[in-house]
Structure 1
Amino acid sequence: MPDNAVTRRNVFQASATAAAALTAAGLPILTTATPALADTRHGRLRPEPLIPPRNRGIILYSVRDRITAAPDTSGVPYGFERVLARLAEIGYKEIEFAGYNQHTSILGRQITPREIRKILDDNGLVANGTHTQINPATFEQQLDIAQELGMRNIGTGSDPTNSAYRPDWDAAADTWNDLGRTARARGLRLYTHNHDAAYSFLLDAGPLDANGKPTRSSGLRRLEYFFDRTDPRYVFFEMDVFWAYVARFKHHTYTDRLGRQRTDVFDPILTVAPRTTRFPLFHAKDGNKNPTAGNGYDMVPLGEGDINFQQFFQTIGEQDFHHANWEQDTAPGGTTLPAQSLDFAALSYTNMSELTIYRRR
């Protein structure tokens, strides 16, 4: 693993609890100590980008207001052609899609996947994934679009099931194994993206309710159960780092089968690290801690919040394999601030590019 790293945003040390967990798992603890900088002056360490430039992406949901905007006189880019050109100018190399439509007044009709692919190619951009519906009835059609756009991954922004019960996750796993096998046969990886509820606890123990459903938990988390029920050759994951830390804030207690309150604090790093190559994609979404908010964090541009992305991406390893897509659900500024989402995209790219790893020469 890398020795150490220091950037201007690397100011948050792991808590004592997190440090103990990382140590027990044999994983490094990153601190804000500065010996690495001195070592570089003596030629013992060399700095490298923590997230390789070719793996820096954006999900277009963050700039959805500009993708779907009608032509206007604001001077702010709109539609696929202008917005993707601006994102390439900022420095992004990869695009994750969140729909394939723009305002019909731009072309007098809807744009086609083939036309979007040409825009990607013209700007040196690569499609690394999509949030679309994963439905057996339409899956082949979605694979066709993904291949037209040159994607390596196809996914969804929803959980495989919204249920809290094990049998429903078992059924979802069977479906996803089948669809993942189909995707692999066509050269793609199938992935699911989490919100915080995906890392809440299964109801799989204790007394049954009036409908015969369990009312308590064994302590298993929904998506972590799904990890083991799906075939690692066919089913992959995109961790939304923001929502993972929201899960840490919200989902830390459960009632066991005997009715006792139990505590189990979720750790996003320790969830990824043992199975890191099942996570080709991440949403690099930042937040400021706000314990009075329902989620415990308020979304902000990447690098402007309290989530330690330096520690996260360095500790999970496999830097060349992982692709980081910036996302901020709240980036659009509406009619009063039409340029805000693209401005946040530029700021977030700068902060992503400043994450640095130091390696032995």
Structure 2
Amino acid sequence: MTEPQTPKALTRRRLLTASAGAAAALGAAGFPVLATGSPAISHGKLRAEPLVPARNRGIILYSVRDRISAAPDDSGIPYGFERVLARLAEIGYKEIEFAGYNQHTSILGRQITPAEIRKILDDNGLVASGTHTQINAATFEQQLDIAQTLGMKHIGTGSDPTGSAYRADWDAAADLWNELGRAARKRGLKLYTHNHDAAYGFLLDAGPLDANGKPTRSTGTRKLEYFFTKADPRYVFFEMDIYWAYVARFKHHTYTDAWGRSKSDLFDPILTVVPRTDRFPLFHAKDGDKQPTQANGYVMTPLGDGDINFQQFFEEIGKQDYHHASWEQDTAPGGTANPGQSLNFAEVSYRNLSELTIYRR
């Protein structure tokens, strides 16, 4: 067995370092710029509170999918829902976002049921915060049944509403999501979509048409931000994957306008959330090490091991009691060489998330 990767400690300097560029952008946009750091603590003027309340710290099970799906073994590493959820509760997580409802059938001699998973949640003091499932009209009521059995308040997907670059397709997606969002609301749930970087790329909505009659250039409107204007805020909500939002900042910053000129527009994840913070009840707290030579500009790491400034992000968007942060790292599983890696990463990431602090009067 190889030695597990050891994430870097989330030092006080790294914890409190804020991006001057992002702060300047917030100020220029007319939003309050909060001071990060704790200079007044020594004067006894402020009290320290967790930036992400303990009850709102979660994990999406995709990060530990290798252990959820593992067959029973004698390694001592938890496997299946009962053992893995117990370990996550022991670490400190309070919320679970699902990425499927199956485990290895050899554990029970059959597949586990949603009702049995709910009992495991309850036994461990855990709450189901949401899910990444397929969102379509044909199976939506069935998915709502499962969500209610598990006690969820949110139901969502890990996919963008559409992968298209054209307005008409985003309009059609908004019509569907508004309809499904109304159905979810009737049953006490919020419907949400989770972004990848492509959702913050630019629409093709201007300029000459191609052979199929489609626009080939852009007005500079970003796809998901256009969707914000078409999706009904009463019924459709969003889960920002913070890592992919910063990848979008790295990748999607130029477009060709209607006259063929290259234009620049720097995407800012914080400025996307702040004007509509109530539409983002959920976030994926996924970290990345800045690697400008890589296609995405970042490489995924355990939370606290990378360069994304979660202190500034969660402080600036405000409403700490409303927002839920689920740790995710797509690359956490260590495979047969290091089967305990994903749970080890879950532990260090929880610790670093819990150390984020805000100071109030």
- Matched-pair contact (CA < 8 Å) for 2:16–2:37: no
- Matched-pair contact (CA < 8 Å) for 1:12–1:31: no
Map 1:1-361 → 2, pairs under 5 A: 7-16=12-21, 18-29=22-33, 34-38=38-42, 42-360=43-361
> What residue in structure 1 maps to residue 8 of structure 2?
none
> 1:11 Cα shift?
4.8
Letter of the structure 2 residue corresponding to residue 55 of structure 1: N
CA–CA separation in structure 2 for the residues paired with 1:243 and 1:209: 30
CA–CA separation in structure 2 for the residues paired with 1:59 and 1:20: 33
> Residue 10 of structure 1 aligns to a residue in which SS?
helix
> Residue 293 of structure 2 aligns to a residue in which SS?
coil
> 1:44 Cα shift?
1.0
Letter of the structure 1 residue corresponding to residue 187 of structure 2: R
> What residue in structure 1 maps to residue 3 of structure 2?
none
> 1:9 Cα shift?
2.9
- Matched-pair contact (CA < 8 Å) for 1:77–1:86: yes
Structure 2 unaligned segments of length 5 or more: list them.
Answer: 1-10
CA–CA separation in structure 2 for the residues paired with 1:97 and 1:32: 33
CA–CA separation in structure 1 for the residues paired with 2:174 and 2:245: 21
CA–CA separation in structure 2 for the residues paired with 1:356 and 1:282: 17
Q: Deviations over 1:153-209 (max 9, x none)?
A: 000000111100000000000000000000000000000000000000000000000
**Divergent runs of 4+, >2 A:** 6-13, 25-34
> Residue 305 of structure 2 aligns to a residue in which SS?
coil
> Residue 299 of structure 2 aligns to a residue in which SS?
strand
Q: Deviations over 1:118-138 (max 9, x none)?
A: 000000000000000001000
Letter of the structure 1 residue corresponding to residue 29 of structure 2: A
CA–CA separation in structure 2 for the residues paired with 1:244 and 1:134: 22
> What residue in structure 1 maps to residue 4 of structure 2?
none
- Matched-pair contact (CA < 8 Å) for 1:14–1:30: no
> What residue in structure 2 maps to residue 3 of structure 1?
none
CA–CA separation in structure 1 for the residues paired with 2:46 and 2:20: 27
Letter of the structure 1 residue corresponding to residue 349 of structure 2: S
CA–CA separation in structure 1 for the residues paired with 2:18 and 2:58: 26
Structure 1 unaligned segments of length 5 or more: list them.
Answer: 1-5
- Matched-pair contact (CA < 8 Å) for 1:7–1:355: no
Identity, % of aligned positions:
79
CA–CA separation in structure 1 for the residues paired with 2:126 and 2:87: 11
> 1:25 Cα shift?
2.3
> 1:88 Cα shift?
0.1
> 1:35 Cα shift?
1.2
Letter of the structure 1 residue corresponding to residue 19 of structure 2: A
TM-score (normalizing by structure 2): 0.95
CA–CA separation in structure 2 for the residues paired with 1:167 and 1:292: 35
CA–CA separation in structure 1 for the residues paired with 2:153 and 2:139: 18
> 1:29 Cα shift?
3.8
TM-score (normalizing by structure 1): 0.95
CA–CA separation in structure 1 for the residues paired with 2:30 and 2:50: 24
- Matched-pair contact (CA < 8 Å) for 1:163–1:169: yes
CA–CA separation in structure 1 for the residues paired with 2:68 and 2:45: 46
CA–CA separation in structure 2 for the residues paired with 1:95 and 1:354: 20
Letter of the structure 2 residue corresponding to residue 261 of structure 1: S
How many correspondences in the alignment? 351
CA–CA separation in structure 1 for the residues paired with 2:139 and 2:47: 48
